[in-house]
């Protein structure tokens, strides 16, 4: 591999066994970052498409450096262990990409408390906690990047009439992503004087990930290749942009970078 824009940096990417997280992990590694890929699915499993082993092997095949850290991010001890193992192997973390998610879809009247609490734990508190664990080193070194992966579902629905997709029950998913975005902008303010940049990134169009497929968000939709999100993520962790609530294709167009778009 040649000299990349992230040579010498260490990145921790959650939800990196498949989909957007795996694509981001590969892209950062291709630019020279040492990547800790974190997810629950360590080995290939017939129930799921993609695993940490697949991600790590792809990075190694391309000449990059990465380790797999199997962790359940709903558990505080696993979050702390993921940070410890990353630091033990590579040293201080420069880049944190919070991509891991667990998503349930149901109307408000039917949404179970247990599922509500799990979504908040994984998609709000886990990113917050991981950031807390890494900020002391970032502040001490005067440099760091936190990128939170969001969704357009955080935007307030317009209507009536309302989008039939929204009517299926995305209230909690929208809530956690909106909370993640507000956390990000607060962190951008607090971290600015310490050299820490914080941004969120969401796909402009649906990405054909296993999760999107499970929620019937692929067939019949305009689709965006996962490489678009990966390129936009790279743009947000290699420079000085901060406080952005960015959409993938819009950001790349602004920066004059190439985005590949596939349509349904």
150 catalytic? Reply is yes
User: Hey, which residues does 246 pair with through a beta bridge?
Assistant: 201
Catalytic residue among 34, 51, 177, 227: 177
Tens place of pLDDT for every residue, the chain, 264 residues? 557 999 999 999 999 999 999 999 999 999 999 999 999 988 876 566 789 999 999 999 999 999 999 999 999 999 999 999 999 999 999 999 999 999 999 999 999 999 999 999 999 999 999 999 999 999 999 999 999 999 999 999 999 999 888 888 999 999 999 999 999 999 999 999 999 999 999 998 867 656 544 555 544 555 689 999 999 999 999 999 999 999 999 999 999 998 544 333
SS3 147: strand
**Alpha-carbon span 206 to 228, nearest angstrom:** 11
Catalytic residue among 17, 51, 70, 173: 173
pTM to 2 decimal places: 0.92
The CATH topology of domain 10-255 is: Rossmann fold (3.40.50)
Q: What pLDDT is recorded for position 201?
A: 98
Residue boundaries of the structural domains of the chain = 10-255
177 catalytic? Reply is yes
Q: What pLDDT is recorded for position 3?
A: 77
Q: What pLDDT is recorded for position 117?
A: 98
162 catalytic? Reply is no
Catalytic residue among 150, 151, 227, 248: 150
DSSP state letters, 1-63: ----TTTT-EEEEESTTSHHHHHHHHHHHHTT-EEEEEES--S-BTTBS--HHHHHHHHHHTT
């Amino acid at each position: 591999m040649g000299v990349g824009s992230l040579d010498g940096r260490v990145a921790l990417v959650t939800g990196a066994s498949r989909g957007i997280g795996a694509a981001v992990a590969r892209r950062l590694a291709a630019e020279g970052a040492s990547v800790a890929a974190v997810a629950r699915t360590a080995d290939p499993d017939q129930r799921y498409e993609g695993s940490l082993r697949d991600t790590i092997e792809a990075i190694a095949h391309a000449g990059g450096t990465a380790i797999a850290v199997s962790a359940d991010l709903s558990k505080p001890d696993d979050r702390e262990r993921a940070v410890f193992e990353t630091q033990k192997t590579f040293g201080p973390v420069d880049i944190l990409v919070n991509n891991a998610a667990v998503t349930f879809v149901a109307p408000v009247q039917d949404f179970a408390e247990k599922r509500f609490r799990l979504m908040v734990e994984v998609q709000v508190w886990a990113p917050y906690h991981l950031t807390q664990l890494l900020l002391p080193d970032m502040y001490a070194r005067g440099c760091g990047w936190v990128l939170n992966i969001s969704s357009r579902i955080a935007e307030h629905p317009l209507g009536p009439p309302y989008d039939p997709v929204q009517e299926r029950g995305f209230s909690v998913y929208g809530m956690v992503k909106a909370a993640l975005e507000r956390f990000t902008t607060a962190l951008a303010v607090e971290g600015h004087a310490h050299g820490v940049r914080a941004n969120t990134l969401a796909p402009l169009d649906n990405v054909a990930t296993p999760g999107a497929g499970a929620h019937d968000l692929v067939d019949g939709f305009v689709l965006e290749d996962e490489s678009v999100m990966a390129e936009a993520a790279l743009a947000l962790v290699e420079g000085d942009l901060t406080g952005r609530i960015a959409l993938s294709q819009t950001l790349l167009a602004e920066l004059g970078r190439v985005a590949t778009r596939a349509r349904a």
